[in-house]
Chain A
Amino acid sequence: MQFSFTEEQEEFRGILRRFLEDKSPTTEVRRLMETDEGYDPEVWRQICQNLGLTAVHIPEEYGGQGFGFVELGIVVEEMGRALLCAPYFASTVLAATAILNAGTEEQKQTLLPDIASGKTIATLAFAEDDGRTGSDGVAMTAAASGDGFTLDGHKSFVLDGHTAGLIVVLARTPGTAGDEGLSLFAVKGDAPGLDRSLLQTLDPTRKQARLAFKNVEAQLIGDEGTAAAPMAKTLDQATACLANEMVGGAERLRESALEYSQLRVQFGRAIGSFQAIKHRSADMLLEVEMAKSAAYYATAAADDDAENLIPAVSLAKAAAADAYTQAAITTVQMHGGIGFTWDNDTHLWFKRAKSSEVFLGTANEHRERLIENWDAMERSAA
Chain B
Amino acid sequence: MQRSVTPLLVSVRGLVKRYGGVTALDGLSLDVAPGVIHAVVGENGAGKSTLMKILAGVVQPDAGQILLEGRNVVMDSPAAARKRGVGIVYQELSLFPQRSVLANLFVNREPLRRGWVSTDAMRDMSRELLDRLGLDVDVAAPVSRLSIGEQQLVELARVLLERPRLLILDEPNSALNKRETERLFAVLRQLRAEGVTMLYVSHRLEEVFAISDRVTVTRNGKDVVTRDRAGLTIPEIIDAMIGAHQEDLFPPPLPARKCDAPEQLRVDGVCGGELDDIRFTARSGEVVGLAGLEGAGVSTLLGILFGTRKAQAGAAIFPDGRGLPRSATEAARRGVCLVPADRRRNGLMLDQTVLFNISQVVVGALKTGSPLFSPKEASARAARQIERLRIKTRSPGSLVNHLSGGNQQKVVIGKWLEIQPRVVLLDDPTRGVDVGAKREIYELIRQMSAEGRIVLFSSTELPELIGLCDRILILYRGRLAGEVAGRSVDNRTLLHLINTGERPTAAGSALQ
Q: Do A and B bind each other?
A: no
Residues on B lying within 8 angstroms of A by beta carbon are none
